[in-house]
Structure 1
Amino acid sequence: MIKVSEEQYPIIKQFISRAPTFVYSILDRMIEGAVYSDTAAFQTLLFHTKSGIYYVYGNENKTSIDYQLAYCLQQAIEQQKRFTLFSYSEQWNTKIEHLHLMKIFIIIERSMGNVITKSNLLLNP
């Protein structure tokens, strides 16, 4: 995942066919937030507001965003902050449900003292 620079926000606005209002507010720099992409081609995007609202857009088959979502969720849990995720499609909803179950598994394993790494987790459904 790469953090998209604000100079590239107008380019991203051209790719998005529909999104919640807060996504456009991030892209217009009206609210604080960040945009992450899987590649410079912007096939998969993750929008994140400072207040803990997220939106995933694009190709749900990309795995790099899985790790970013899991990381953001982990940070929100550890810091007791908000994590509200909106998705682009029914396919994303299915994938998010799977990632949520994997996150619960990670939390349980950590509480039992086991070490979990990216290499021993399958994050694709």
Structure 2
Amino acid sequence: MFKKLSPNIKSSITRSISQSFEDYMSDIGWAEDKYNIEQFYANWREYITTKALWYEKIPDEIKANPKFHEDLAKRVEEVLVRVLNDPPAEEQIAQIEILQEKLGTHYEYGCKAEALYVQNLLEAKAEQQKK
């Protein structure tokens, strides 16, 4: 069922999964012990039904089909694996290391999205120290 959707809708679905996952992980501070797949799905479900333009473009008969939901669950898993396996950029690593040395911190990060979270956190801390 998922394969029958237009490339634009499939791309929008993928982006919404990635964005929702990164937002959810940021909300919990990328703390693995706080991760709850049901909560992530609840957040994503709310996002797609209230903010995602692609959701309205999918016919109700497709949305009601269990095969569509099975395909969608597989897509969510693929996207999450891809996000978690996307390594941080060398520029990110360098910037984080500079900030950590300056601030005397030691945050760990395993993927590009988590590195972005850490970088933003450290930049905010550095900005607060300037005040």
TM-score by length of 1: 0.31
Question: Larger RCO: Structure 1 or Structure 2 (Cα < 8 Å, ≥ 6 residues apart)?
Answer: 2
Query: Which structure has the greater CA radius of gyration?
Result: 2
Is the helix fraction higher in 1 or 2? 2
Q: Which has the higher strand share?
A: 1
